[in-house]
Amino acid sequence: GHEFWDTQPVPKIDDKIVESGPIENKTLEDVRKEPLTLPPAFEWIELDCNKSDELKEIYTLLYENYVEDDDNMFRFDYSPEFLKWALQPPGFLKEWHIGVRVVESKKLVGFISGIPATIRVEGKPITMVEINFLCVHKKLREKRLAPVLIKEVTRRVNLRNIWQAAYTAGVVLPKPVAICKYWHRSIKQQKLVEVGFSALPPKMSMASMVKLYRINDEMKHPLRPLTKEDVPSFRALLDEYLSKYKIAPEFATDEDVWHWFETRKDVITCYVKVDETTKKVTDAFSFYNLPSTIIGNAKHNTLKAAFSFYNVATTMSLTELVGDALVAAKKMDYDVYNCLDVFENSTFFKDLKFAIGDGDLQYYLYNYSTPTKKSSEIGLVLL
């Protein structure tokens, strides 16, 4: 049983869903006007990502306490600049950047965030919040603090007349709308083996492994960083492409697209190919930078990972496009390129020598039921 989740408007694990729509319909009068009650030693705060000390507090909480792999060898290390980007898209609300402090020491021990987004579910655009960076300090685990954070963010989102949410998690909860797999493309073989990210297959030498995973020094296609001038045609391309998927974001304005795809050093990289005569974007790859702390390795402290974001290919195959993304990632000194089996990504894994990971990523919707989707029907990537 799920003491908390059983009380929430989400499908039960064995529900067979055939139609799409909200699970419950509430109005503003139904929403509690006061914050949820915290145990007396704690207080609610809003964090301001424009204040470097507050941004640093979120960073440190996550650096020490956020998501680890199943064997506790790696922990995500989202940088402060990354968090500022992820938490402040156009239309963001500071009141959705929610912290819990210890009253006495002022130490930040809990966090949850929401950002506004329009997500299309089976073609229907729905105003939602994307929930991310839920974190409770390791010393306060299993004390039912997470449900309080979730209820508080729900309340603050509901007060803005928004009733649906999208989120992803490595754990299984009621009820995934899709179950996706992580795949990995090795770039720096030796280091990945040294840190235990990958194993040297039996009967394979390091030299033959290095040779197997060699990546070209130059891209095959004339791709260059996205510019502001490209944005209108890139948005048109992206929106048309995303409309093929059963769950996908809608990038409603040029400002949204520029926010999410402008290249920011060590945060997000987006390259495009532009047609010489029409000047329109025809192809684009993007990936974000999410390193992990390597827990307890004497030689290496961080694993530098690129995560595939949105890719659109029209004048070349998706395989060739992502092949060029790998060239860019190698040049930028990444150790590994990570990718979910969403979109048509499964079509290039074999040719580009990806290997399946040991981690799953579940996709969820809050207060919206819709038939379970295949990973290839998902057109959404959350950070």
User: Applying CB under 6 A, does 144 fall inside the site for ligand NHW?
Assistant: yes
For the CB of residue 205, give the shortest distance to ligand EN5 in the complex, in Å.
15
Subset of residues 350 to 369 that bind ligand EN5, contact rule: CB under 6 A: 355, 357-359, 361
Spatial neighbors of 311 by CB under 8 A, at least 6 apart, are 284, 285, 286, 318, 321, 322, 325, 343
User: Applying CB under 6 A, does 169 fall inside the site for ligand EN5?
Assistant: yes
Identify which of residues 65 and 338 has a Cβ nearer to ligand NHW in the complex: 65
Q: Which residue is nearest to ligand EN5, using beta carbons?
A: 357
Q: Which of 5, 44, 92, 213 binds ligand NHW (CB under 6 A)?
A: 5
Query: Could you say which of 65, 158, 168, 345 is catalytic?
Result: 168
To the query of whether residue 383 is one of the catalytic residues in this protein, the response is: yes
Identify which of residues 3 and 333 has a Cβ nearer to ligand NHW in the complex: 3
User: Applying CB under 6 A, does 169 fall inside the site for ligand NHW?
Assistant: yes
Q: Which stretch in 115-123, 163-171, 219-227, 257-265 sits in contact with ligand EN5 by CB under 6 A?
A: 163-171
Q: Which stretch in 18-26, 134-142, 282-290, 305-313 sits in contact with ligand NHW by CB under 6 A?
A: 134-142
Between CA 309 and CA 381 the distance in angstroms is 6
**Using CB under 6 A as the criterion, what x/- string covers residues 62-101 for binding ligand NHW?**
---xxx----------------------------------
User: Applying CB under 6 A, does 146 fall inside the site for ligand NHW?
Assistant: yes
- Calculate helix-pair angle for 254-261, 231-242, nearest 10 degrees: 90
Q: Which of 158, 186, 289, 293 binds ligand EN5 (CB under 6 A)?
A: 186
Between CA 77 and CA 18 the distance in angstroms is 39
Q: Number of C-alpha atoms within 13 angstroms, CB side, residue 108?
A: 23
User: Applying CB under 6 A, does 121 fall inside the site for ligand NHW?
Assistant: no
Residue 338, CA distances (Å) to 245, 248, 254, 324, 357 in order: 21, 20, 27, 14, 9
**Using CB under 6 A as the criterion, what x/- string covers residues 281-320 for binding ligand EN5?**
----------------------------------------
Q: Which of 98, 115, 119, 135 binds ligand NHW (CB under 6 A)?
A: 135
For the CB of residue 169, give the shortest distance to ligand EN5 in the complex, in Å.
5
Subset of residues 65 to 104 that bind ligand EN5, contact rule: CB under 6 A: 67, 69-71, 73
Identify which of residues 101 and 164 has a Cβ nearer to ligand EN5 in the complex: 164
**What b/e string do you get for 162-187 counting C-beta neighbours within 10 Å, with b at 16 or more?**
bbbbbbbbeeeeebbbbbbbbbbbbb
Number of residues in contact with ligand EN5 under rule CB under 6 A: 23
Residue 272, CA distances (Å) to 216, 233, 257, 311, 326 in order: 19, 11, 13, 10, 14
Tokens describing residue 183: 């795949």
Between CA 284 and CA 313 the distance in angstroms is 7
To the query of whether residue 132 is one of the catalytic residues in this protein, the response is: yes
Identify which of residues 61 and 238 has a Cβ nearer to ligand NHW in the complex: 61
To the query of whether residue 134 is one of the catalytic residues in this protein, the response is: yes
For the CB of residue 62, give the shortest distance to ligand EN5 in the complex, in Å.
11
Q: Residue 205, class by beta-carbon neighbours within 10 Å (0-12 exposed, 13-18 middle, 19+ buried)?
A: exposed
Given the rule CB under 6 A, which residues bind ligand NHW?
2-5, 65-67, 129, 131-136, 141-147, 150, 153-154, 157-158, 162-165, 167-169, 171, 173, 366-367
Active site residues: 132-134, 168, 383
Given the rule CB under 6 A, which residues bind ligand EN5?
67, 69-71, 73, 132, 168-170, 182, 184, 186, 192, 197-198, 336, 355, 357-359, 361, 382-383
